[in-house]
């Protein structure tokens, strides 16, 4: 989010962390928590919940559940889930970015956005967000699924914590590599206002092109380490908990 559309020195994750705590207090690290939790509750449940039925439907339709079917099922589950929850993501990003909005809260910011920019503003960046969610869910679930099968086939690991931990860690690494550029594009589009004089990007592809042109290929991976620091543990915890809950509910493992 730093210096969107501007030039200047950028702070790394550690420096930015210390600066935020020093200047704004520890609470600043949790800005946008309410919309983030609301989105995670709906989005997380939908994308995991839709994956198995989608895979089952593809298996019935095509008579196969190979890796391509798993990728397609993950993409469908992720895209649908994020299309429904995009307004919460927009609110979260804006509350994190603008100090003045932090005092207003998500409800007031929601009303302000709709009154000033129209209801369509809540779906800003929905294209890249859907692409990111489709890539994330497909890479996470398909990688986890395939890694588990490979490990069971070629090692002595069986269903249990070690297998789930290794598989989910591999899924977290790969999903970060796949989604970091899309995440960066999505965030920049969500931060844009409708005012034409400060509108920089026309769409997702234009944003990616401008970043490549002005900041180089590494610009697409800005914040990549911070993304992995969040996505890696999140992926691991999500899959381990999901497997345990499925076991206690009497369902077979993923």
pLDDT digits (tens, 9 = 90+) for 21-75: 888 888 888 888 888 888 888 888 888 888 888 888 877 877 777 788 888 888 9
How many Å is the Cα radius of gyration of the chain? 19
Query: Where in the sequence is the domain holding 241, given as residue range(s)?
Result: 138-253
Q: Has residue 80 been placed in a domain? A: no
Q: Does residue 93 carry a pLDDT above 70?
A: yes
Q: Has residue 73 been placed in a domain? A: no
Give the per-residue pLDDT at 189: 79
pTM for this entry: 0.68
Number of structural domains the chain divides into: 1
Q: Has residue 102 been placed in a domain? A: no
Q: Has residue 31 been placed in a domain? A: no
Q: Has residue 129 been placed in a domain? A: no
Q: Has residue 127 been placed in a domain? A: no
Q: Has residue 155 been placed in a domain? A: yes
Q: Has residue 195 been placed in a domain? A: yes
């Amino acid at each position: 989010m730093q210096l969107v559309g501007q030039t200047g020195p950028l702070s790394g994750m550690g420096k930015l962390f210390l600066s935020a705590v020093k200047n704004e207090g520890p609470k600043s690290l949790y800005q946008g928590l309410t919309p983030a939790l609301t989105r995670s509750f709906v989005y997380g449940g939908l994308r995991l919940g839709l994956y198995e039925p989608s895979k089952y439907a593809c298996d019935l339709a095509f008579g196969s559940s190979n890796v391509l079917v798993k990728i397609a099922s993950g993409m469908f589950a992720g895209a649908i889930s994020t299309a429904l929850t995009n307004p919460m993501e927009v609110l979260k990003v804006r509350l994190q970015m603008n100090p003045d909005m932090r005092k207003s809260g998500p409800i007031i910011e929601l009303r302000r956005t709709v009154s000033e920019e129209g209801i369509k503003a809540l779906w800003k960046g929905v294209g890249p967000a859907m692409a990111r969610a489709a890539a994330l869910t497909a890479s996470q679930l398909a990688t986890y699924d395939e890694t588990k099968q490979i490990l069971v086939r070629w090692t002595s690991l069986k269903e249990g914590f070690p297998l789930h931990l290794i598989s989910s860690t591999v899924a977290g690494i790969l999903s970060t590599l796949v989604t970091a550029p899309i995440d960066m594009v999505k965030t920049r589009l969500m931060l844009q206002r409708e005012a034409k004089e400060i509108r920089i990007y026309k769409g997702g592809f234009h944003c990616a092109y401008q970043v490549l042109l002005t900041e180089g290929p590494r610009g697409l991976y800005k914040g990549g380490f911070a993304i992995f620091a969040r996505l890696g543990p999140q992926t691991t915890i999500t899959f381990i908990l999901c497997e345990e809950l499925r076991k206690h509910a009497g369902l077979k493992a993923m």
